[in-house]
């Protein structure tokens, strides 16, 4: 199989720059937006040009926007962390993949036509070695990944050599304490290190993935790259249709951000969708299969217990988490406890060997504002808190997933309880949607909730696209979803007072006031759209918008006013 190259260009008016580390030989990619000068006319009629400083932006697009790197989807992107990993003495390279399923797929000739061509032997922790970023942080080690994210978080400040409180040591400590997660499977060296924690920039996750009904491998790889281009910080591959294994390989080998999955989806496909036939053994093999491909974090619904099943009948909309509904039904059918809960220690042992983080799924998240903050939701959260401690004992990094559908006045309780019950492990929420009456606009109903909960301390928000509840998102929906969540995340960064968060806003506002339209477009989250809207209705005069007309531009009148005052 050959996939056509992705048509992602460099950002307009921008260049890719790399900031060097001081401890390790890391080069941290950023996007530098170059601005045009401010032009004023002096009393004698001379044009006076004042330069405007460039703006450095956090950049999730990887090498796709570096014109010096030749992109070849069929070979995968450069393996940034490979040399850092090679240097470690706590890892071993395996002669071959070790999962039964992975081997079966590898030996299946009929898959040759859809398989990603290059294969890499997987790595794993040497026996007895504790190798996760959390383990290393606890031992006081600042890894290259930690230094990378410290520089990355500082953004403009790092580019200008200005220090903030976010040092490599600060990063190390946040990871050691479990307050931040640095998802970095040793088998996904293509990913640029990033960090998820309330002390850092708010991150956003995008979901892609084919279902039995639609979309092929090529489209999913395109969505992955597209998501990174617009600003997605992590990517979950939620494929549930055919060829999940091969689709995932294509995505991971081309993905510059951490990749997450929900392994029970694939496990269920392996038993043809028969919940009753699911077993721990199949699930376990799936974990190993995916860990060796390079998945950086697994959503695991280990907190949805058998005892919760009865409570679901109190709800208006039952269980809306796919993983939660599968595991609860399994427990009821078997009259046994959820096997993800009973085998949680073993799960952590596997994850620890590859440095896969666990994202503890909220299988009982509310699916309507009616069900928000109810008994089953909060009982499950208590269990997630217990599981957090178990994972940390294994050195496994932990995220806690949260709702869902929550009206504004009930959001705060979600955050406060999560912090208390889950010991400051980073919270990762889906929205929440603040009303249920707007299918087709749930990116907006949920961005309203996401901005608020992120301001309160949620570390990562999972995007929602306009098609939520209705259909799978198209490429355009992915773009809309990502931009909408960039807005929510950035609004929260500003409200949190994150160092330098408002530099971009101020530069854009100054450009707006000075009618430097190109700079305004280039600094915006979606330069192409902003420019298109403008150009479509614009008729030649650069010095007022089409909104107000020539006599009514407040900014123009203000500029005259300033001149009047100065006289």
Q: What gap in Å lies between CA 196 and CA 183, rounded to an integer?
A: 8
Q: Does 1 bind a copy of itself (CB under 8 A)?
A: no
Report yes or no: 224 and 263 within 8 Å, Cβ to Cβ: no
Least separation in angstroms between CB 261 and a copy of itself: 14
Q: Does 510 bind a copy of itself (CB under 8 A)?
A: yes
Q: Does 513 bind a copy of itself (CB under 8 A)?
A: yes
Helix 217-230 vs helix 244-253: crossing angle, to nearest 10 = 40
The interface region with a copy of itself, picked from 22-30, 44-52, 217-225, 494-502 by CB under 8 A, is 494-502
Least separation in angstroms between CB 143 and a copy of itself: 32
DSSP label at residue 409:
G
Q: Does 75 bind a copy of itself (CB under 8 A)?
A: no
Closest CA to 193 of 156, 228, 233: 233
Cα 547 → chain centroid = 36
* Sheet arrangement for strand 55-57: 14-20, 27-33, 55-57
Q: Which is nearer to a copy of itself, 385 or 431 (CB)?
A: 431
Handedness of CA 337, 341, 345, 351 (dihedral sign): positive
Q: Does 370 bind a copy of itself (CB under 8 A)?
A: yes
One residue of 316, 389, 413, 543 binding a copy of itself per CB under 8 A = 316
Q: What gap in Å lies between CA 391 and CA 289, rounded to an integer?
A: 20
Q: Which is nearer to a copy of itself, 31 or 490 (CB)?
A: 490
- What residues contact 231, with CB distance under 8 A and at least 6 apart? 60, 204, 482, 483, 485, 486, 525
Q: What gap in Å lies between CA 187 and CA 182, rounded to an integer?
A: 14
Q: Which of residues 324-353 bind a copy of itself (CB under 8 A)?
A: 324-326, 328-329, 332-333
The phi and psi torsions of 401 (rounded to 5 degrees) equal -85, 145
Q: Does 267 bind a copy of itself (CB under 8 A)?
A: no
Q: Does 492 bind a copy of itself (CB under 8 A)?
A: yes
Least separation in angstroms between CB 218 and a copy of itself: 18
One residue of 142, 217, 224, 268 binding a copy of itself per CB under 8 A = 268
Least separation in angstroms between CB 507 and a copy of itself: 9
Q: Which of residues 114-173 bind a copy of itself (CB under 8 A)?
A: none
Q: Does 506 bind a copy of itself (CB under 8 A)?
A: yes
Q: Which is nearer to a copy of itself, 37 or 407 (CB)?
A: 407
Helix, coil or strand: residue 552: coil
- For residue 333, the tally of other CB atoms under 10 A from its CB is 12
Where does residue 392 fall: left (phi above 0), alpha (psi -120 to 50 degrees), or beta otherwise?
Answer: alpha
Q: Which of residues 434-473 bind a copy of itself (CB under 8 A)?
A: 434-441, 443-445, 447-448, 451-452, 455, 466-472
How many binding residues for a copy of itself (CB under 8 A)? 113
């Amino acid at each position: 199989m050959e996939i056509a190259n992705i048509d992602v260009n460099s950002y307009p008016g921008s260049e890719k720059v790399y900031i060097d580390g001081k401890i390790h030989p890391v080069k941290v990619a950023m996007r530098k937006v170059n601005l045009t000068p401010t032009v004023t006319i002096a009393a004698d009629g001379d044009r006076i040009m004042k330069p405007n400083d460039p703006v450095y932006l956090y950049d999730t697009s990887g090498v796709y926007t570096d014109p010096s790197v030749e992109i070849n989807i069929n070979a995968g992107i450069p393996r940034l962390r490979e040399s850092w990993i090679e240097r470690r003495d706590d890892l071993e390279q395996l002669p071959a993949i070790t999962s039964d399923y992975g081997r079966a797929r590898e030996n299946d000739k009929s898959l040759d036509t859809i398989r990603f061509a290059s294969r890499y032997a997987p790595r794993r922790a040497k026996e007895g070695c504790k190798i996760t970023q959390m383990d290393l942080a606890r031992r006081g080690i600042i890894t290259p990944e930690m230094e990378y994210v410290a520089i990355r978080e500082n953004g403009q400040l790092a580019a200008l050599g200005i220090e903030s409180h976010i040092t490599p040591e600060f990063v190390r400590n946040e990871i050691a304490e479990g307050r931040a997660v640095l998802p970095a499977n040793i088998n996904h060296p293509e990913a640029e290190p990033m960090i998820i924690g309330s002390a850092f920039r708010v991150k956003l996750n995008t979901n892609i993935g084919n279902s039995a009904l639609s979309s092929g491998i090529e489209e999913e790889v395109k969505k992955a790259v597209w998501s990174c281009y617009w600003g997605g910080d992590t990517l979950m591959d939620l494929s549930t249709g055919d060829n999940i294994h091969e689709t995932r390989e294509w995505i991971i080998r081309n993905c510059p951000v951490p990749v997450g999955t929900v392994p029970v989806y694939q496990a269920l496909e392996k038993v043809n969708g028969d919940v009753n036939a699911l077993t721990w053994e199949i699930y376990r093999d799936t974990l190993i299969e995916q860990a060796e491909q390079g998945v950086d974090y697994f959503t695991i619904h280990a907190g949805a217990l058998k005892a919760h099943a009865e409570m679901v009948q109190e709800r208006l909309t039952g269980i809306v988490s796919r993983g939660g509904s599968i595991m609860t039904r399994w427990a009821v059918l078997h009259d046994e406890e959820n096997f993800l809960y009973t085998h949680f220690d073993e799960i952590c042992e596997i994850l620890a060997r590859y440095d896969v983080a666990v994202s503890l799924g909220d299988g009982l998240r509310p699916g309507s504002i009616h069900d928000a903050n109810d008994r089953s939701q909060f009982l499950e959260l208590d269990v997630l808190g217990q599981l957090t401690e178990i994972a940390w004992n294994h050195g496994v990094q932990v995220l806690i997933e949260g709702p869902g559908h929550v009206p504004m006045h009930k959001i705060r309780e979600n955050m406060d309880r999560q912090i208390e019950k889950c010991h400051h492990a980073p919270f990762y929420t889906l929205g929440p949607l603040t009303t249920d009456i707007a299918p087709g606009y749930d990116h907006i109903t949920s961005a309203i909730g996401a901005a608020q909960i992120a301001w309160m301390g949620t570390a990562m928000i999972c995007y929602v696209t306009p098609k939520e509840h209705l259909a799978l998102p198209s490429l355009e929906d992915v773009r809309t979803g990502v931009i909408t969540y960039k807005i929510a995340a950035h609004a929260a960064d500003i409200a949190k007072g994150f160092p330098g968060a408002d530099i971009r806003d101020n530069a854009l506002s100054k450009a707006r006031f000075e009618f430097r339209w190109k700079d305004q477009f280039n600094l915006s989250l979606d330069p192409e759209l902003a420019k298109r809207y403008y150009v479509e209705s614009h008729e030649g005069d650069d010095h007022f918008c089409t909104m107000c007309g020539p006599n009514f531009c407040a900014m123009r009148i203000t500029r005259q006013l300033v001149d009047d005052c100065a006289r």
